[in-house]
Amino acid sequence: MPHDIAWQHDAAARVAATALGPCAEHRGRVEETGDGVAMISGLRNARLDELLRFDSGAVGFAQVLEPDQIGCVLLDEAAGLQAGDAVRGTGDVVRVPVGAGLLGRIVDPLGRPLDGKGPVQGASLSPIERKAPGIIERDLVTDPVQTGVLVVDTLFALGRGQRELIIGDPATGKTTLAIDTIIAQRHSDMVCIYVAVGQKTSAVRRAVDALQTHAAFDRCIVVVAGSATPPGLQWIAPFAGMTMAEHVRDAGGHALIVIDDLSRHAATHREIALLTRQSPGREAYPGDVFYVHARLLERAAKLSAANGGGSLTALPIAQTEAGNLAAYIPTNLISITDGQIVLDAALFQQGQKPAVNVGVSVSRVGGKTQALALRNAAKSLRLDYAQFLEMEVFTRFGGVIEPRVQAKLTRGTRLRAVLRQDQHAPLRLIDEVALVLAVQNGVLDALTVKAVDAFRDGLAGALDAQLADLLVRVEATGILTNDDHAALLELLQKRAAPDG
């Protein structure tokens, strides 16, 4: 049955109309139904995206308007729906609950609880489709989003209000990277929304377990439209999650939304389009698939101070096949977003996790949002790492290696070891600054790769014990003074010494 809260306004409208006396009501009939859609005739005044109610109790929204019939996408299983059933327009659109009552909850795209904790309390309703903020309403993206993932924060820094695509082949750690970013916000002021679209129940369960164990789950919202749910719920899930996140942004807060994933959402859009007999285009996708994702992701923004100064950061996830970034949906999403983090299957299989391909990944905001301490420490890091990877390929052919090249290979190997990171273990800003300084200043050159791992694992404890004041200053200001730089480098050198 449909969500009681979401349709209260519909019942209230009928009561009000009855109190005024007899009135005309536009009604249509179901011509055919199946696979989550219904073709309807007779509702000539229906509008696009209008909520439709069937006498059987099912609800849906008008996705396709033709001269002689309407393509309606159902929002629930409709086993009792059949040809000839009556249907009427409500004059409203699909709305979802928003507000603080959703925090710490697991819900479906209509706001119905999936966690057994009872109905969502104190929530208001907002439409799933909203206009994106205009240029005048936006502000520059300058504030950082600390992901706690060293390779991202140093090479592809993210900013509040940015849209950064996470893309890669199946089973390369895309969801893990996004979940780690949410976990890293446990000490920040960001509200995090995780939207699962078409995911297996086991995958959703792992993600929820990680959030409940490691993240500040009381500031998270999980929206689930699993692979077994009707296509209509899967289609509206990203829009519902975006509406919940916009409520936080418009109130002057900061939100982070992860959509996992838009490749499955595109497949659902294609399925609905084919069932409603829309003209297929490239790879059978309808012509508006680009517009669907563009209007969704454009809603992520950093608002100006005059509009509250809130921000909404989007981390959509997309899937590739055999690393093909030139496929239809990946190219669409890459052109919409402000950069992409590409995960490589070969790196993943080699044990380099996160398996970020630094050659093709990019953030179009980049250093503008980095904390000054990290930006100064990582000035030439990307170039150095790229040179190391290129040299490593050539040295595999054998031959005598010059001392200068060998030194670069040694440092690059240590850098690669530092960039390797366990899942669900985000780093603090000071930890990242310290690790980058250690690599760039050659502190780790004399250590073996195994010793580098031990050095990294014990670094946080040493910083807490010996440089607590410095840690507080850097975390608060993002700035590393000359004196702080010297003190930090001295500690790193002592820890890397043979007797350290």
Closest CA to 241 of 102, 444, 33: 102
**Chain mean pLDDT for the chain:** 90
Please give the positions annotated as active site: 364
Residues 250 and 329 in one domain: yes
Residues 79 and 28 in one domain: yes
Cα 84 to Cα 27: distance, rounded to the nearest angstrom? 12
pLDDT at 404: 84
Report the CATH number at residue 14.
2.40.30.20
pLDDT at 3: 45
Residue-wise pLDDT tens digits, 445-497: 889 989 999 999 899 999 999 999 999 999 888 899 999 999 999 999 998 88
Cα 478 to Cα 475: distance, rounded to the nearest angstrom? 6
Residues 44 and 127 in one domain: no
Q: Is the pLDDT of residue 10 over 60?
A: no
**Residues 107, 100, 110: CA angle, nearest 5 degrees:** 30
Token output for 215: 């993240």
Residues 331 and 441 in one domain: no
Cα 244 to Cα 257: distance, rounded to the nearest angstrom? 9
> How many structural domains are present in the chain?
3
Q: Is the pLDDT of residue 78 over 80?
A: no
Grade residue 60 by pLDDT with cuts at 50, 70 and 90: very high
Q: Is the pLDDT of residue 215 over 90?
A: yes
Report the CATH number at residue 141.
3.40.50.300
Closest CA to 443 of 482, 417, 471: 417
Residue-wise pLDDT tens digits, 374-403: 999 988 888 888 888 888 888 877 666 788
Residues 245 and 179 in one domain: yes
CA distance between the termini of the chain: 65
Domain that includes residue 279, residue range: 97-370
Closest CA to 320 of 165, 184, 435: 165
Residue-wise pLDDT tens digits, 21-57: 666 677 899 999 988 999 999 888 899 999 999 988 8
The CB density around residue 84, as the number of other CB atoms within 10 Å, is 7
Cα 16 to Cα 259: distance, rounded to the nearest angstrom? 39
Residues 89 and 117 in one domain: no
> 191-225 burial, b if ≥16 CB within 10 A, otherwise e?
bbbbbbbbbeeeebeebbebbeebbbbebbbbbbb
Grade residue 12 by pLDDT with cuts at 50, 70 and 90: very low
Which of 351, 370, 389 terminates a domain? The answer is 370
- Provide CB contacts within 8 A for 154, sequence distance 6+: 374, 378, 381, 382, 432, 436
